Each structure stands twice: as structure tokens, then as C-alpha cells.
Amino acid sequence: MCGIIGYTGTANAIPKMMKGLSVLEYRGYDSVGIAAQENSKTKIVKCKGRIGALEEKLRDQPIEGSHCAIGHTRWATHGGPSDKNAHPHRVGAVTLVHNGIIENYKDLRASLAEKGVIFQSETDTEVAAALINDCFAQSGDPVASIREASEKMKGAFAFGILFEGYPGEVFAVRRGSPLILARGKDGYYIASDMTALLPFTKEYYALKENQIVRLSPGGGRIVLSDGTKIAPQWETTTMTPESAQKGGYSHFMLKEIHEQPGAVVKSVSPRINADGLPDFSSDGIEPAFWQTVKSIQIVACGSAMHAGLVGLRLLEDLAKVPTSVSIASEFRYHPPILPEGSLVIVISQSGETADTLAALRYAKENGIPTLAIVNAVETTIAREADRRIYTFAGPEIAVATTKGYCTQASVLWMIAAAIAHTTGRIDDAQAKAITRSLLCDVPAAIEQMLTLENRYHKIARNLINHEHVFYIGRGMDYALSMEAALKLKEISYIHCEAYAAGELKHGTISLVEPGTPVLAICTEQALLEKTESNIREVRSRGAQVTLIVRDDLPTPPDPAEEVILLPTSSEAATVFAALTAIQYIAYETALLLGCDIDRPRNLAKSVTVE
């Protein structure tokens, strides 16, 4: 995923570009660049590296008095991080920045090369610039050339474009990648997401698929794919610059871990009615809908898929609905059996993950009802699903999700309770106990776990000395272990595997040697005994075990090298307490290793390419 931004108006464009790009860096940070109109010429300054490298370059190659510019921060897809592969790319009269992937770029590149185009980079983006330029050379009309070129491209794109001969004008188009249009007091903007524009304005319009935008200092016009012009329906975002800033924490990830109690309350309370029962009517989902659901396929990527694994346990144990979880990028390639009464639930924090969006579209093409659990509002997945339930976690900036996953799990718990109650599996009292637990016990349990920073730090001090770490658990704890392993891997770069505790002895235990850290999670009373026998198996081979266990279980003397006790005010409280512990352990480990916690290497916040 990349970040794009554009501006035209009465103010100096360069400071706006730099400010916006510094916010967008979480979307990708291999290379960065801007193109600005200076004295009716378009000047490009770009380089490999992060925004600081661009600031350095701009000191050597200053751009004076520009009021119209586009900018880009890159997560490499085609062509590695380099100055020449950095955006913006210029071909002829067209200069553009791109977020997405042009799947047929090789064919397009070949046909353009036959026309004499000599490419400077390895990117699909430069091919898009050449194609638009080729169309512009024939039509002489920027909007028509964008539309014609878009029709020839396959894949996902959001472009910000400058045309020679059109001073002060920024053009843009989106298909499959997000793009926001915004209006400020001193001009108009485009950006990949609203966080980049919060320092300038709150008024935005989320562009729809295939809409083309023509911005000039005096206004922004939207041209639909059929050529008709419409005025943007401006909305006002509730986000604030502060809500997208660190708020005094050393990292966004730590801030977002600490925001979880409030995020859970914000995500569940709108779905609890006056009687204390689960109720999604405010999301446009009436109880009768849940009665139509005979089976559920959850489809997502990464942590969102891991949240789905938590949901699977709840939907089957509580609501007795047969449920499966698929990795989104696999979903389409083993055609899923989607019988009558199926519901496909897609989960996505960003609402723009290409693999998940593709799975959503596949389900819709096959006539299956779809429900999206999304955090970022007005995003493609949220808009395209038949129904959507927002997790009100607020902007999540750290690449490693915490409150996003946490609120997804809380909403899934509410959905399971709603289905169970609607279908008579649980009565009013049981349903109210669940909603009360999510609204009260869970936030309190997370708060309690947030006070154990020193314990997590001590565990982390051991982990940093090892190349391989294992998380083990049974049932729900195996699902939690999957997320625990990913959290540790993605921000500390330590290899970590999650294993069903009972499965370790069927092969992988051969990797356990004296000192190997094994973290065992046990939130379920009934599974402690079995998990303890698995702990003994690894300890007898020298493993250093950390036991994350509910505080009401009689544990044997010396059960592990470290023990983290979990509150047991309710089942949900214990699960979310364990989640907080594994998130914090990953954070403390990465901190000790000096890793870039908010922007881990090779990653991006939302992967908008398949």
C-alpha cells in the first residue's frame, strides 16, 4: 500500500505535502517524492528512503512558491526501493503518483514501447503515466485521457495527476484503491486517507469507484465514468489531528494498546439496547436477519483472520452456527461451498485490503449475503458489503494492529450473542450477562493487565536472546496464540510459531532445546490440565516456559519460569486480558531490540495489492 496526497489552492503547497506525507508514511516508506508546479513547469524531487531523505533533497533542490503539487510515499510492489522507482513518475505531459497495482502493466508496457516510449523505471506506475500520456496526446483532454486509459488498465489504482498546460489543476481517479477528496479554507486536496488531511480540514468526500476529479484553486468537480459532472457531497470527519497523533505515548502501538478499554466500549455499547440485550438495528441489521444465517464463512487476512478464529469459537460454541475461517487470498482458489443460508463475514481494520476485497466481491458474485466488520469508515470494503458493522476503535496508525483486532473480537462476541439470543440458544439473562461482561468486565480486565508493564518487560528480556519462540494453547487459546505469534514476529523480527498445545509433540517439539522460550496460554478452565501436561513435555526438554493463566486455577508448585495471572470476572474478561498480555510482551520485546515498532520493515498498514 502507498500513500498519495495532492493540493491546489492559494497557499504554499510544499509544506502541506511534507506534513501530509509524514502522516501517510505508515502506509509505506520505501521511497518518497513530490511533484510541484513552479512557474508553470512541473518539478519533481524524489528519493529512496523516508521523508527525512526528501527534506534533505529539498534543501539542495528547493521548490519555491508552488501552489499546486502531488506527493507520494511508497511501499514497493513492482521494482525495489530506489530513486528511479520512487514516485512521482513523469511521461510526456503527464506526471502522476499511484496507490495500487496495474495487473496488465507488462502488456501495456510492451505496446507502449512499440510506440517508442522508453521507460526509466521498473514500475507499473510509469506505465500508467505513459498510457495516460498516450491517450492525452490523441484527445488533448485530461479527463477523457484518464477515462480512456483507466478502461485499458486492469487492477487497482488511485492516481493523483498533473498535466503540463493545466497550471493549478490536480486530476485524480480511483478504482479499487481508496481516495479522499477534501475542501479546506485555502484550497482543495486529495489523499489516500483522511488522517493526512486532518491538519488542514475536516471536510471530505470519499470518492466512489471510477470517479474522476478535476481540482482547481476555485473548486473541485467530479466527473462520473459516463462523463456527467456532479458536486461532491461534503461530510465532516469526527477524527482530530490529536486522535491521529501519539498523545504522549512513545509509540502509536502503545497508545493504541492503552486505548483498547475505551475502544471496546465504543464498539459494543451502540449494539446493546435499552434492555441490555444485543441489538444491531442501529447498523441496519434486524434480529430477523440473524435467523436466516445457517452457516458462516469468515474471510480475512493476518490479524483480522486471527480475530475470525476467535469468532469461530464463539459462533459455534455460543450460537451453534457452523463456521469456517478462510485466509482471504486462498478463499477464491478453492471454490468455497456456500450453501443456502450462508453468510460471508469479511473482517478488515483498514477496509481496503485487496485480498479481502477480492473475497468479498467473489461472495457477492455468487449471490451470498455479505457482512463487513470494518474500522475505517467509508472505505471500499465497508461500502461494497451488503451490511457493515463498524468497530469504533478510532484511527489505528501503528502497522501492527491491536485495538483493531481487539474491537473486531468484541464485535464478533456481540454477533455470536445476538444470533444465540435470536435463535433461542441463550435466554435474556444469559445474553445480558454477555453484553454486561463486554461492556464492563472486559475494559476493567484490560486496564488491570495494562499495569503489568514490568512483568512483560522481564519476559521480553528473555525473549530477545532467542531466534525462535513458541506460543501454545488449546481451543480459544490456540486462536489467541496465532495472534500472539504474529504480533511478536512482525515488530521484533523474532521467529515465532503458534502451536496447538496438543500438537507440539507430533513433530515440532524436536525444535525445543534447553532455553527455548515457550509461552503457554490457558484461559479455559477445562483445558488447564491438558495444557499443563504439554508444558511439562517442553520443560522436560529445557524450555523456558511463561504461563499466561486464569487466576482462579489451582496451579501446581513451580508451574513455569514466569506466570502471568489473568482476571476471571468473566470468560470474555479472561480472553481479552490474555490478549493484552501478548500484545504488551511483543511491544516490550521490540522496544528492547530497538525495532521501529510503528513501522516494521517490509510491512504496510493496509496491503492494497493482491
Q: Which residues bind ligand AGP (CB under 6 A)?
A: 301-304, 348-350, 353, 356, 399-401, 490, 606-607
> Cβ neighbours of residue 403 under 8 Å, at least 6 residues apart?
256, 257, 259, 260, 263, 393, 394, 396
DSSP 8-state code for residue 26: G
The whole-angstrom separation of Cα 283 and Cα 368 is 19
DSSP 8-state code for residue 400: S
Residue 147 Cβ vs ligand AGP, minimum distance, rounded to whole Å: 29
Residue 304 Cβ vs ligand AGP, minimum distance, rounded to whole Å: 4
Active-site residue 595, yes or no? no
- Name the residue nearer to ligand AGP (CB basis): 193 or 441: 193
> What are the backbone dihedrals phi and psi of residue 517, each rounded to the nearest 5 degrees, phi first?
-75, 130
- Name the residue nearer to ligand AGP (CB basis): 343 or 491: 491
Q: Is the dihedral of CA 443, 370, 350, 494 positive or negative?
A: positive
Rounded to a whole number of angstroms, the distance between the first and last alpha carbons of the chain is: 10
Residue 486 Cβ vs ligand AGP, minimum distance, rounded to whole Å: 6
Q: Using DSSP, how many helices (H) and how many strands (E) does the chain show?
A: 19, 25
367: region left, alpha or beta (phi > 0 left; psi from -120 to 50 alpha): left
- Name the residue nearer to ligand AGP (CB basis): 85 or 353: 353
DSSP 8-state code for residue 438: I
> 10, 186 in Cβ contact below 8 A?
yes
Task: Report the amino acid identity of residue 177.
Answer: S
- Name the residue nearer to ligand AGP (CB basis): 222 or 358: 358
Residue 323 grid cell: 463456521
* Of 525, 321, 541, 556, nearest in space to 421 by CA: 321
Residue 490 Cβ vs ligand AGP, minimum distance, rounded to whole Å: 6
The whole-angstrom separation of Cα 40 and Cα 254 is 45
Residue 186 grid cell: 485555502
The whole-angstrom separation of Cα 610 and Cα 606 is 11
> What are the backbone dihedrals phi and psi of residue 141, each rounded to the nearest 5 degrees, phi first?
-120, 115
Chain position whose Cβ is nearest to ligand AGP: 302
> 382, 366 in Cβ contact below 8 A?
no
Residue 252 grid cell: 502509536
Count of residues in the chain: 610
> What are the backbone dihedrals phi and psi of residue 6, each rounded to the nearest 5 degrees, phi first?
-150, 155
Residue 70 Cβ vs ligand AGP, minimum distance, rounded to whole Å: 25
- Name the residue nearer to ligand AGP (CB basis): 16 or 266: 266
Task: Report the amino acid identity of residue 490.
Answer: E
Residue 302 Cβ vs ligand AGP, minimum distance, rounded to whole Å: 2
The whole-angstrom separation of Cα 155 and Cα 101 is 6
Q: What is the residue whose three cell numbers read 516494521?
A: 600
- Name the residue nearer to ligand AGP (CB basis): 301 or 420: 301
- Name the residue nearer to ligand AGP (CB basis): 217 or 302: 302
Residue 393 Cβ vs ligand AGP, minimum distance, rounded to whole Å: 11
- Name the residue nearer to ligand AGP (CB basis): 408 or 531: 408
Of 2, 68, 135, 522, the catalytic one is 2
Residue 26 Cβ vs ligand AGP, minimum distance, rounded to whole Å: 10
Helix (H) or strand (E) holding 56: helix 51-60
Task: Report the amino acid identity of residue 206.
Answer: A
> Cβ neighbours of residue 367 under 8 Å, at least 6 residues apart?
none
Residue 585 grid cell: 510482551
Q: Is the dihedral of CA 308, 310, 313, 316 positive or negative?
A: negative
Residue 597 Cβ vs ligand AGP, minimum distance, rounded to whole Å: 11
Residue 151 Cβ vs ligand AGP, minimum distance, rounded to whole Å: 28
Of 255, 266, 487, 605, the catalytic one is 605
* Of 411, 368, 404, 410, nearest in space to 386 by CA: 368
Residues belonging to the active site: 2, 605
